[in-house]
Structure 1
Amino acid sequence: MKITARPIVAGSLFAAILGSSAVLAEPIPTTDWSGYYVGLSAARSTGDNYWDRPALGGHATLSDDWTGTLPILTVGRDWQRGQFTFGAAFSISSGEITASPQPGIFLLCNDCETIVSDLMTLRGRVGLADSKMHFFATGGFAQADVAGTSGGGQTTVNSDTLTGWTLGLGVERNLGDKVSLTAGYDHFDLGAITLEGHNPGAISEIEFGLMQIGVNYRW
């Protein structure tokens, strides 16, 4: 009786293909983002500011863009379950951003300036890990010292510590050796500061954004 080796060869070839397919199908390892981290970033302000008299309707002054770059120190903790992450972070900044609203029909303003300084946030965040990338959304409590001045800073109309909220989106890339590069955008709403000392009923609503880029170290 003649015995052929073709079925044996075909079976071996099929098994080899399955084995190679299994190897090719193995997912790329995902970075473990769990643990503590400390980060330093530079944040550029966006948005504009004006002084207003709500009782008269419309903006009392012409708006001016926020200017300034803040150094921000962040300490946080993340946990990871599969590809999903969640955590909390605390951030502080010692710098300031400013805007100089221009005189309008309903409010004369002699070198007026709005100043936001000593920003602090406490935020939660959730994210998705994908290979060496980490995409996340963040939000929580925000606080800063706010002042309104006139006469080129010669007169302080009012100063106060305002609290509000912040929401943002960001991305992080693992560079190896526990170091990662991060970038994101955060929007802030701190409510309004009263400026009665300048004009009755005058206020300034404090809203701005921060475009950030920085480096984190994890352990």
Structure 2
Amino acid sequence: MRLMTLGAAWLLAISGGAALAADATSVQPAGGFNWTGGYVGVQAGHLWGTGRTTAETGWNSEPDVDGWLGGVYVGYNHQLANQVVIGVEADLTVSNAEGFGQAYDPWGVPLPPPVIGDVYELNWSGAARVKAGYAMDRLLPYVAGGIAFADVNVHAIDDGLPISPIMSDTMVGWTLGAGIEYAFTDNLIGRVEYRYTDFGDFDLTPIATAELKTHDVRFGVAYKF
């Protein structure tokens, strides 16, 4: 089911871009930079956030996740006559973000030494989003949101030593963000973007679940066709 969801998200982004490309009825503004067209780019940034392991017994942990990310993105924009720009975009990144969180008992008290807790590792993530912005010649502020997914590993450690197998799953959730793009030339476009993502949760055991929510700031540069 998760793979079907991911496939549908990517298909939505691709088919949406094709539909916008085929729309030749909108009147384009005269003069100035025109944002209509496809693009492909590379990006890098910093990610931070919080995981949460919750068990029915009341035991929990909240690892602070932190690290770098880098990857690619592809999309299509369509500029309307009123300077509004709509578009679709998909991206994929790899990450070294990870973090440890000490385990707490049902009353919120940390477990005594040796230290027991959970380690979260974010290996890769991606998203399929819709965009909306307002063109000010070569400057484009925008908001974007859609489906997000990530490959996350979780395992428990005791005084630095693993005490559980690594549990891994492709988490599926949602993302929302805002950014600014600037066209340095007719083909070279830079961007800076902030994004908040809730990757949802997955089952670690029949009585425990893992959740992950992140923030990230990304810088990118793209080639517009």
Q: Which interval holds the TM-score relative to the shorter structure?
A: 0.7 to 0.9
Structure exhibiting the larger radius of gyration computed from Cα positions: 1
Structure with the higher strand share, 1 or 2? 2
Which residue of structure 1 aligns with residue 144 of structure 2? 138
Which residue of structure 2 aligns with residue 162 of structure 1? 171
Q: Output the CA distance in 2 between the equivalents of 1:179 and 1:156.
A: 46
Structure 1 residue runs without a partner (length 5+): 1-27
Kindly report which structure 2 residues correspond to 1:113-124, keeping only aligned pairs within 5 A, or say none.
Answer: 113-124=119-130
Q: Output the CA distance in 2 between the equivalents of 1:163 and 1:144.
A: 7
Distance 1:66-1:29 versus aligned 2 partners, 3 A rule = farther
After superposition, the C-alpha distances for 1:33-57 in whole angstroms (9 at most, x for unaligned) are: 110111111121122223223663x
TM-score, structure 1 as length reference: 0.76
Name the % identity.
26
Distance 1:55-1:112 versus aligned 2 partners, 3 A rule = closer
SS in structure 1 at match of 2:102: coil
Distance 1:120-1:94 versus aligned 2 partners, 3 A rule = same
Over the residues paired in the alignment, what is the CA RMSD in angstroms? 2.5
1:77 aligns to 2:76 (yes or no): yes
1:210 aligns to 2:204 (yes or no): no
Kindly report which structure 2 residues correspond to 1:165-176, keeping only aligned pairs within 5 A, or say none.
Answer: 165-176=174-185
TM-score, structure 2 as length reference: 0.74
Structure 2 residue runs without a partner (length 5+): 1-29
Kindly report which structure 2 residues correspond to 1:1-219, keeping only aligned pairs within 5 A, or say none.
Answer: 30-53=32-55, 56=58, 60-61=60-61, 63-82=62-81, 83-106=83-106, 110=116, 112-151=118-157, 152=160, 154=162, 155-196=164-205, 201-219=207-225
Cα deviation, residue 103, structure 1: 2.5
Cα deviation, residue 98, structure 1: 1.4
Cα deviation, residue 209, structure 1: 1.4
